[in-house]
Amino acid sequence: MAGETITTGEYISHHLTNLTYGKLPADYVRVDAEGHTHVLEQAQWTMAHSAQEASDMGFMAIHVDTMGWSIFLGILFCWSFARAAKGATVGVPGGFQNFVEIVIDFIDDNVKSIFHHKNPWVAPLGLTVFCWVFLQNLMDLVPVDWIPELAKLMGIHYMRVVPSTDVNATAGMAIGVFILILYYSIKQKGIGGFAAELAFQPLPKWALPFNLFLELVGLIAKPISLALRLFGNMYAGEMVFIIISLLPFYIQWVLSVPWAIFHILIITLQAFIFSILTIVYIAMAYDKH
């Protein structure tokens, strides 16, 4: 990082640490930037000053940068598409309106080919998931030092700008999809019908324990696969960019430009997969067996 002499491990660790807000217990020993220590007299809610403090804050800590960038990108998506809709014309569309129409038609065609039931919310859900995840992934193309260094000048210790490289963000979205799966499964089949589908299909009734176990594993695997697939691919891409940034400047451009071009395909594909699987899982919730 600019103005500091740090090891490669410290550089990578810094870029992989989230800006974390949480609670440190009483008698916790904190170490400041100058290396001085002091003991907390009582439990304190505060920003973590190191990766160790972030880890010690436990489950109830929140990644402020992940939440902040996710909300910002969600607002950006809503504002930009609403602006395009408000300024839409029936004649030859402008550049951005044409782009928005292409995205909407693309998602709509895929939803129609997968979801054969009546639900006015499914296509907008698919569009929202695709655009939101795509914008989160797109932040990976911002040079790795730009925003963290700017945040450092503002006194902010850490700043990760790609929400989808945080498993908490991908798991949160996946849990949201899982809740929708359960909701529509129960709504369409009733609690009894949904339970019977888990327990008695396709094996006979005497095999209920085995069938229930297998079906529950398959059900729980849906959000887990959604979360880990997106997280794993984006985390790996982020690591590649960080490693490239450690190389000499002239080598960085030789490697980063081709990787960034290839990464555009990855971030688009991952957003598409997350969106389509969301629609597929909801379609499966509607299907009665």
Least confident range of 31-40, 147-156, 178-187? 31-40
The total of other beta-carbon atoms located within 10 Å of residue 185's CB is 24
Catalytic residue among 50, 137, 164, 233: 233
Domain segments of the chain: what residues?
A: 63-286
Residue 1: pLDDT band by 50, 70, 90 thresholds? very low
- pLDDT of amino acid 4: 55
In contact, 137 and 110? CB cutoff 8 Å:
no
DSSP sequence for 149-178: HHHHHTT-S-----GGGSHHHHHHHHHHHH
In contact, 25 and 57? CB cutoff 8 Å:
no
Catalytic residue among 225, 245, 256, 275: 225
pLDDT tens sequence across 20-55: 999 999 999 998 767 788 899 899 999 998 889 999
Concerning whether 119 is annotated as a catalytic residue, the answer is: no
| Amino acid sitting at position 188 | Q
Average pLDDT over residues 259-275: 96
pLDDT tens sequence across 200-240: 876 777 788 888 898 999 999 999 999 999 999 999 999 99
Concerning whether 98 is annotated as a catalytic residue, the answer is: no
Least confident range of 97-111, 218-232, 245-259? 245-259
Catalytic residue among 229, 245, 256, 275: 229
